[in-house]
């Protein structure tokens, strides 16, 4: 999603959840402050659709489910809308959020990068059942995967690479994640492929 704008401070969890049910704009709740979320770019949506196109067939015979950015994740008293997540054991009885994601995915942009790589990353890594965090750049090709099993150290993947989401046993292709995305790295990659 595009950058967040603080709109209301000192909001309670109950008021936030009630407000989200009737709001046309999504908001994230961070330390009692509600932040309005702007729309996403076409490249952002292409990446998310490409991620889902790889995830869904592989999860069909699994107890895990994939969710888009319309389902919230609760971390302590904060609520976030990750771009995608995989939940294998949903411990929440609330139909609008989960507290137990196994994999979280965020697509970064110049306007969200700082929050996604700091506040959200630290919050996400505090979730006991989270096993993998995937941060995907949209303005250039870079997929960063952080795993609990590796003390949250980053590993970066680029065009031509594949990587495994170890917690759910799925292998994803970076090139497939960036299919139809328009950025300089993809254009150069496609030109090189055409010459081969």
Q: What is the DSSP string of 49-111?
A: HHHHHHHHHHHTTSS-EEEETTSEEEETTEEE--SEEEESS-----TTEES--SEEEEEE-TT
Compute the average pLDDT of residues 123-146. 98
So what's the pLDDT on residue 118? 93
Give CATH superfamily name and number for 41-195. tt1808, chain A (3.90.1570.10)
Compute the average pLDDT of residues 29-40. 90
Ranges of each domain in the chain: 41-195
Provide the mean pLDDT of the chain: 93
C-alpha to C-alpha distances, 98 to 91, 134, 166, nearest whole angstrom: 7, 18, 21
| pTM beyond cutoff 0.95 | no
pLDDT tens, position by position, 62-117: 999 999 999 999 999 999 999 999 999 998 889 999 999 999 999 999 888 998 99
Specify whether the CB–CB gap between 85 and 103 falls below 8 A. yes
Confidence of residue 38 (pLDDT cuts 50, 70, 90): confident
Compute the average pLDDT of residues 11-16. 92
What is the spatial distance between Cα 125 and Cα 128, in angstroms, rounded to a whole number?
Answer: 8
């Amino acid at each position: 999603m595009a950058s967040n704008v603080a709109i209301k401070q000192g909001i309670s969890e109950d008021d936030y959840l009630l407000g989200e049910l009737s709001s046309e704009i999504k908001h994230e709740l961070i330390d009692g402050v509600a932040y309005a979320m702007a729309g996403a770019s076409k490249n952002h949506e292409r990446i998310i659709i490409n991620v889902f196109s790889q995830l869904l067939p592989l999860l069909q015979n699994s107890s895990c489910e994939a969710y888009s950015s319309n389902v919230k994740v609760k971390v302590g008293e904060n609520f976030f809308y990750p771009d995608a997540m995989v939940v294998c054991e949903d411990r929440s009885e609330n139909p609008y959020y989960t507290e137990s994601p196994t994999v979280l995915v965020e697509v970064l942009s110049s306007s969200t990068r700082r929050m996604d790589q700091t506040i959200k990353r630290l919050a996400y890594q505090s979730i006991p059942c989270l096993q993998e965090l995937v941060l995907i750049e949209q303005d250039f090709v870079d997929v960063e995967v952080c795993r609990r099993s590796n003390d949250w150290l980053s590993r970066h993947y680029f065009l031509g690479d594949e990587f495994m989401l170890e917690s759910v046993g799925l292998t994803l292709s970076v090139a497939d994640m960036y299919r139809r995305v328009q950025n300089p790295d993809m254009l150069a990659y496609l030109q090189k492929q055409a010459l081969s």
